[in-house]
Amino acid sequence: MEKHFTLQFRKPKNGVVHEIVQHALRDAATASTVNTAIDVLGDALLELERLVALRSERAH
């Protein structure tokens, strides 16, 4: 599977989640195939999961 979603965030800031979602929706809307759109959205979900885990680690 080709990686289409490549935003990397080292320091989470306010609005980062919104930025990830907006970027993914834009890329999915312009994807050449349905499968590519699904891959883009899946990658965004994985990035959000990573971000939540990172924030959770910092809170402890």
Reported in sequence order, the residue ranges of 1-60 that DSSP labels E, i.e. its strands, are: none
DSSP string, 7-33: ---SS--TTHHHHHHHHHHHHHHT-SS
Kindly give the confidence (pLDDT) of every residue in the chain, 60 residues in length, as a single tens digit, with 9 standing for 90 and above.
455 555 554 555 668 899 999 999 999 999 999 999 999 999 999 999 999 898 888 777
Q: What per-residue confidence (pLDDT) applies to 1?
A: 47
CB atoms within 10 A of CB 53: 10
Q: What per-residue confidence (pLDDT) applies to 4?
A: 58
Q: What per-residue confidence (pLDDT) applies to 57?
A: 81
